[in-house]
Amino acid sequence: MTCKALVVDDSRAIRMILSNALEKLGWEVCEASNGREALSVLERQNGSVSLVLIDWNMPEMNGLELVRAVRADPHYADVKLMMVTTETQVEQMMTALEAGANEYLMKPFDKAMIEGKLRILGLVQEQQEVM
């Protein structure tokens, strides 16, 4: 399966919520439960992924480590990275953005918030809205 968006979170429920929201906006979605698995998915997808939604707190490789790993690989220079996390401190937001995240969404969130962030990133057009 080829996907355009990758949802990375160790919570199956959160992956499902994010995936459903993205699919309603017209995205083909893959999932990973940690950063290491996400890097494998990105490699297997061979450049088709244009958006990665990343949780911060995960086992094996956390979200910040994943952002740094993706940004260290020039193959993924155009991939948009959005942290979706319970980490709400400004310092953590700044750390993620400085590491290469394009956007930051704090949990809890709703579909409209996800859509708003995607609009900021230029990834959702008006005609794609499905409410």
Task: State residue 130's pLDDT score.
Answer: 46
Which is more confident, 86 or 52? 52
Tell me, rounded to whole angstroms, the distance of Cα 12 from its chain centroid: 15
At the topology level of CATH, where does 5-121 sit?
Answer: Rossmann fold (3.40.50)
pLDDT category at 129 given cuts 50, 70, 90 is: very low
pLDDT category at 125 given cuts 50, 70, 90 is: low
pLDDT category at 2 given cuts 50, 70, 90 is: low
| Percent of the chain clearing pLDDT 90 (strictly above) | 83
Task: Indicate the domain borders of the chain.
Answer: 5-121
Structure-block tokens of residue 90: 């400004």
Instruction: For residue 21, give the amino acid letter.
Output: A
- Tokens 């911060």, residue located: 56
Structure-block tokens of residue 15: 């992956």
User: What phi and psi values does residue 33 have, to the nearest 5 degrees?
Assistant: -100, -5
Which is more confident, 58 or 87? 58
Angstrom distance (rounded) from CA 36 to CA 116: 28
pTM: 0.92
Written as one string, the DSSP assignment of the chain is: ---SEEEE-S-HHHHHHHHHHHHHTT--EEEESSHHHHHHHHHHHTT---EEEE-SS-SSS-HHHHHHHHHH-GGGTT-EEEEEES---HHHHHHHHHHT-SEEEESS--HHHHHHHHHHTT---GGG---
Task: State residue 126's pLDDT score.
Answer: 52
